[in-house]
Every structure is written in C-alpha cells, then in structure tokens.
A and B are shown apart, each in its own frame.
Chain A
Amino acid sequence: MSTISIENLRYTWPGSDDPVLDIAEFRVAQAETVFLRGASGSGKSTLLGLLAGTLTAQSGSLQILGTELATLSPRKRDRFRADHIGIVFQQFNLIPFLTVAGNLRLVARFSGRPRRDITEKSEHLLESLNLDPALLHRRADRLSVGQQQRVAIARALINEPELLLADEPTSALDTDARDSFMSLLLSIRDISNCTMLFASHDRSLAKYFDTEVELANLNKAQARQVSHV
C-alpha cells in the first residue's frame, strides 16, 4: 500500500476560475523520501495542504495510508492529521511564547495521546537531535533558528507519524546551517521510518532524496497555465 495515492485530483481556490492543481496520478511508497520541486507559486503548499487535509479537493481521489481524506468528517480529518502526519515549515514552526515542552505538549493535546507519553519521549528525542534537554523549559523564541528547526523536527516526529511533510524548511538558514539541517532531517530515517515529502524550489537539495518529482510535470493545471502565457 502506498503512503500517498492521488488520482485525478483537482483543486481550485475559492474565487478563482482555473484550478491550481490537476494531478492525474501521484504515488509515494512507504518509507520513500521524495523531493517535490516547483517554482514559487506553482502550488507546492497547496498540494501539501491537500495532503494534510486542511484543504479538500473538489474532485478526484486522495488517499493517505489507504484512507480517503475527503470522506472523513472535518473533525476526523483534523484528528487524522494530528495522529499520522508530521509537519515542518520553512519558518515559524513553533508557538513563540510557549516553552519547547509546551510546544511538544500541544501535539499530545491534538492527538489525544497521554501527556506523560509525550513528556517521556521529549528528552530522548531532543538528545537524538543533538539538543540539550535543558532547552525544554526555554521559550521557543529564545532559541537560535537552527535550534528551532531541530525542535520543529522533534515536534513533527514525537507522535511517530507515518508521513512527514516539509515545506521549504531550509531557506531561512545559511548554507552551512542548511546542510547540517538537511543531514539532520535525513538522519530521521535512523529514528523513524516515516515517509517523507519535501517541497522546495531549490533543485540542489534533490541529492538528499530517493526520488525527485517536478510538480510542473505532474500538474496538468500548471502546464495549461504556462501554455496560456
């Protein structure tokens, strides 16, 4: 069973005439790491929104771990996201006024997992991400950008998600920090064997991944738009 399975998916933003995404078929196998490349405005974040279930497509099929997201009630979809999907953004990954521990506890809140579970795992996870567990009690906005990114990965992984979505998480970092972040992100595979979809415009990052996908090739809507110009 594929972790992600898309067929004839079409999404149009409310108020827009043309679909931004129109994907005939897209599959990602379990434990595969995929690099999704696309120019700015090509619809990467929109696709991740559909995968995470914060958006719902007007037509077509989108299954995560065999579950058709569109058939879930909005409440179950939110819960599904909390339980099965980890998310890392380019920036602003953490609630700035909460401590690191507070940020990690939020996950427990939304997935309904016991807090104690999360607390127990936090220290271990921070250590394996090369972070001092003492940082748990520091406010998130008092961390360096690199530390924040590591905590963001910890937050994404603490619930042992089957799928990790990353939306251009590197461009806020300089090249050195970016490289160490990338190797960190990929070292996740030692901790967990989750499937990973990484969206970016920076082709040079493709080397870190099993598969590279060009969104423009996948997306018929994009192709149509381009041919219009």
Chain B
Amino acid sequence: MFEVAFSSLWSRRGSVLLTLASLTISMAIVIGVEHVRAQAESSFVRTVSGVDLLVGARTSQINLLLYSVFRIGNATNNISWQSYEDISARPEVSWSIPFSLGDSHRGFRVLGTNSQYFEHFHYGDSEALRFAEGEAFSDVLHAVLGSEVANALGYELGQEIVLSHGIGNTSFVNHENLPFIVSGILAPTGTPVDRTIHVSLQGIEAIHLGWQNGVQVAALSPEREDPRLSELQPTQITALLLGLDTPMAVFGLQRAINNYPREPLTAILPAVALGELWQIIGTLESLLSVISILVLTASLLGLSTMLLSSLRERRRELALYRAIGARPFFILWIIELEALSLTVMAAVMGYLVVTAGFAVTQSWLSENFALVIDVWPSTAGIWLYMGGAIAASVLLTLIPAGIAYSRSLGHALQSS
C-alpha cells in the first residue's frame, strides 16, 4: 500500500515536489505565526502579576503600561517624591515599589527602585524574582542585573560597570569615574525584567550628580568615598506599583489617586490594562492567523488540483488495479494516502523549518525585539493547526479520490 503510494508519488516527482514545497512553506507560515502569537501572548500576560495598582503621571493607561512595565518609550511627566510618600502612607497600601526610569547602559534600561521590588514584584503565575547569583543592592553603587543583561554583556558578580545618563545605546557622556558594582544577577523570567539593570533610587541620583539640564556642569564627579553619596535624596519617581491589603480597596484607591489634588495622576489595574493592550495587538495577530490559514488552504487546493490532473495519466493504472482484484475503495484510498503522506511530510518539514528558523534567529529576536521565543513550538494551537491541515487535506482529496472511485465502479476489462 505505502509502497504503491510512495512509488507512484516518486514517479511523478516533478509536480509532487512542487506541491510538497508549497505545502511545506504554508505549513511553516501557519506554524510560525501561531507559535509567535502564542509566545507573545504568554510572555505578555506573564509580564506582571500580584500588583494591584500601577500609578504614573496623568496619561493613558496603555502608555503608562508601556513605559513602566515594558520600558518602551518615556514618561512625559514624573511623580513628585511628596506624592509618592503620601500615597504609600495610605492605610490600604500594604507595599509600594517606586520606579525611576530614564537612564540606560549599553542599550539596557536602568531602573531605580527599592528593595520591596525583589520581594513583591511578581510575574507569570505569581512567581517571585529569584537571584541566580548574589543578592539585592545594599549600597548606593550596587546594581542587580537581569539575566539577559548579564548574558549579553558578559557581566559577572562583583564586576564594575559604568551607568550613563540618558537613553542612548552608546552614550558618549559615560561617567568613567562612577562605577557601580554588580551585587546580584536575577534568574531568567522571560519578561522585560531580564533586560533591566536595577539600582537603588539613590543610585539613580548618583548617576545624575554633577549634571544639570543634561550638561555636566561640574568636572568633579563623585568618587566612591564622596560624602554626598549618603545624603542623596530622590525628588521624583516615574511610576509607582502598589500592593493592597484587601483587593476590595482597589477601586476606592484608584479613584482617590485619579482625583489626587496635588498633581494629576493616573492609577490603573495592570491586569485590565494588559488585557486591553493585548486586544490591540491581538487584532493584528488574528489577522495574520487568518492570512496564514488562507495561504494553507490555497496550497491544499493546489494538492487536490495536482491529484485531480494526475487522474488522466493514471487512468490505465487505476483500471489495472481493479482488473487484478482491487476493490473500488482501494482506488480511493491510494489517492487519499498520497495526499495524506504529502501533507504529513509537509507538516513535519514545516515544523522543522520553523524550529530551525527560530533556533537561528532566537538571540537576534530577543536582543532586538525583547521577544523571547522557544525554539520548539509545542502549544496546543500548533498541533491543532497541523491536525486540521491533515484533516482538511483528506477532505479536499475526496474530490479527486471520489472521482477516481466512481469511475472505477464499472468498466470493461480493458486497460488501453
């Protein structure tokens, strides 16, 4: 049976290989799109968890989410230190994590925060951050690296690194004389945390010492022993993450912050904002899915067409099977089997093409797009698409196979 199907395909390898190539490409497109979609969604939803409210200067909730959680773009305004202390002191608030953003180091964002961050900032299914090496910062000039930062830059525990003011990939105003020491390296999370350098809020101030309006006014930059380091006092932060004692209090506090009298602020529920943002991205993604399914359908129709047009040249071959005792069902099955083996081969090769493609581009994607992609696609959606494609090919092949079947029902004993 398989011998017949494979030899038959091989004897028509010209059109068969073209069809196989077209099927493989469209399978790869479907699998690739679905894989990226699933990965993007899961890493997206995993970005932040356990945070009840996210507070920033007055802006849209998506904008706030983008610059504070995803560290894409910049805040237009900051939150004053006064407001931060005010809100943190409210009775509903169990813990608060300040975020101070705006600086970078060799393309990675520097985040100023406090030690609460390592305790309360969760991701995925409420997973806490873990240290692969070292510990949280305990000094103004300590830094904690995300796993990818350490990997990409080859930094190790105890190494001295220079953090610069501003957000440039290669800022020429590096403070060669203000090195931070790597005090800890975090385990990978698959979130923007991996691409972040964490320092204390005072550390952020230290970076800015001697600077005014983006210009280095004093040639003196603090030495490690500079007494001013201990007196550094932040005056503003970029965003604020809040955890509450009772989830019920979330809406009351949100309203209170949105109506905060001293400065215009926005408080959002991260889960709701993530969902809303995903809806926007998700529309684009389902459009891509639809297109990829159409591409696959076109090549499945091509397969069916190829088999249908092969019937003419196979007329005598199919009649001969019947003459030597084949049931009509054999004729149907032999054509289905050809379609089935081509689709299965295409599914396997398409899968391998996608895997190879991501294996090659994985580090490039994560460095340039913060997209962390597993090399082996394995979500249910992918198996569903592969199974669906195979089922669809069986159904579409019923057209040529059915025609061959009904033609084979009654013919004279003649093969020429």
B323 x A87 contact (CB < 8 A)? yes
CA A169 – CA B320 in complex, angstroms? 14
Which of A11-54 touch B at CB < 8 Å? Answer: 14, 45-46, 48-49, 51-52, 54
Interface locus among B58-66, B231-239, B373-381, B406-414? B406-414
B411 x A102 contact (CB < 8 A)? no
Could you give 24 example pairs across A and B, Cβ below 8 Å?
A14-B410, A45-B414, A48-B412, A49-B412, A51-B413, A52-B323, A52-B413, A54-B412, A54-B413, A55-B412, A82-B324, A87-B323, A87-B413, A89-B415, A91-B415, A92-B316, A92-B317, A92-B415, A97-B7, A102-B7, A105-B3, A107-B324, A110-B324, A167-B415
Which of B61-118 touch A at CB < 8 Å? Answer: none
Question: Knowing A87-B324, A97-B8, A98-B3 touch, does A167 contact B317 (C-beta < 8 A)?
Answer: no
A107 x B414 contact (CB < 8 A)? no
Chain B residues closer than 8 Å to A97, beta-carbon distance: 7-8, 10-11
B321: Cβ under 8 A from any A Cβ: yes
Cβ-closest chain A residue relative to B318: A95
Q: Top 7 A-B pairs ranked by shortest CB distance?
A: A82-B325, A110-B325, A97-B11, A48-B413, A45-B414, A49-B412, A49-B413
Chain B residues closer than 8 Å to A94, beta-carbon distance: 320
A106 x B321 contact (CB < 8 A)? yes
B416 in complex: contacting residue of A54, A81, A92, CB < 8 Å = A92
Chain B residues closer than 8 Å to A55, beta-carbon distance: 410-413
CA A87 – CA B323 in complex, angstroms? 7
The smallest beta-carbon distance between A138 and chain B, in angstroms, is 13
Question: Knowing A92-B316, A95-B317, A102-B3 touch, does A49 contact B325 (C-beta < 8 A)?
Answer: no
CA A110 – CA B1 in complex, angstroms? 11
The smallest beta-carbon distance between A64 and chain B, in angstroms, is 13
CA A45 – CA B322 in complex, angstroms? 14
B413 x A95 contact (CB < 8 A)? no
A137: Cβ under 8 A from any B Cβ: no
Which of B218-239 touch A at CB < 8 Å? Answer: none
Q: Tell which of B320, B322, B324 has the most Cβ of chain A within 10 Å.
A: B324
Chain A residues closer than 8 Å to B416, beta-carbon distance: 89-92
CA A102 – CA B410 in complex, angstroms? 26
Interface residues of B (CB under 8 A from A): 1, 3-4, 7-8, 10-11, 316-317, 320-328, 330, 410-416
B320 x A92 contact (CB < 8 A)? yes
B4 x A89 contact (CB < 8 A)? no
Chain A residues closer than 8 Å to B327, beta-carbon distance: 74-75, 78
Cβ-closest chain B residue relative to A56: B410
Residues 61-79 of A, flagged 1 when their CB comes within 8 A of B and 0 if not, give 0000000000000110011
Chain B residues closer than 8 Å to A46, beta-carbon distance: 412
B414 x A89 contact (CB < 8 A)? yes
Chain A residues closer than 8 Å to B414, beta-carbon distance: 45, 48-49, 89, 167
A109 x B1 contact (CB < 8 A)? yes
Contact size range, A? 35 or more
Inter-chain contact count A-B, CB under 8 Å?
Answer: 98
Chain B residues closer than 8 Å to A2, beta-carbon distance: none
A165: Cβ under 8 A from any B Cβ: yes
A54 x B323 contact (CB < 8 A)? yes
B317 x A49 contact (CB < 8 A)? no
A93 in complex: contacting residue of B3, B322, B415, CB < 8 Å = B415
The smallest beta-carbon distance between B185 and chain A, in angstroms, is 62
The smallest beta-carbon distance between B4 and chain A, in angstroms, is 7
Interface residues of A (CB under 8 A from B): 14, 45-46, 48-49, 51-52, 54-56, 74-75, 78-79, 81-83, 87, 89-98, 102, 105-107, 109-111, 155, 165, 167
CA A46 – CA B320 in complex, angstroms? 15
The smallest beta-carbon distance between B341 and chain A, in angstroms, is 15
CA A160 – CA B132 in complex, angstroms? 77
Q: Tell which of B323, B413, B414, B415 has the most Cβ of chain A within 10 Å.
A: B413
Extra 11 A-B pairs, beta carbons < 8 Å, given A81-B325, A89-B416, A110-B321? A48-B414, A49-B410, A52-B413, A54-B413, A81-B323, A81-B324, A91-B415, A93-B415, A95-B7, A96-B317, A110-B326
Question: Knowing A95-B317, A97-B8, A98-B3 touch, does A54 contact B324 (C-beta < 8 A)?
Answer: no
Chain A residues closer than 8 Å to B330, beta-carbon distance: 110
Cβ-closest chain A residue relative to B325: A82
CA A107 – CA B320 in complex, angstroms? 11
Chain A residues closer than 8 Å to B328, beta-carbon distance: 74, 78
The smallest beta-carbon distance between B15 and chain A, in angstroms, is 14
Chain B residues closer than 8 Å to A45, beta-carbon distance: 412-414
CA A125 – CA B171 in complex, angstroms? 87
Cβ-closest chain B residue relative to A82: B325
A98 in complex: contacting residue of B4, B325, B326, B415, CB < 8 Å = B4
Q: Tell which of B4, B412, B416 has the most Cβ of chain A within 10 Å.
A: B412
Chain B residues closer than 8 Å to A102, beta-carbon distance: 3-4, 7
Cβ-closest chain A residue relative to B315: A92
CA A56 – CA B11 in complex, angstroms? 34
Chain B residues closer than 8 Å to A87, beta-carbon distance: 323-324, 413
Cβ-closest chain B residue relative to A79: B325
B410 x A96 contact (CB < 8 A)? no
Chain A residues closer than 8 Å to B10, beta-carbon distance: 97
CA A57 – CA B316 in complex, angstroms? 23
The smallest beta-carbon distance between A53 and chain B, in angstroms, is 9
CA A69 – CA B3 in complex, angstroms? 31
B324 x A155 contact (CB < 8 A)? yes
B413 x A167 contact (CB < 8 A)? yes
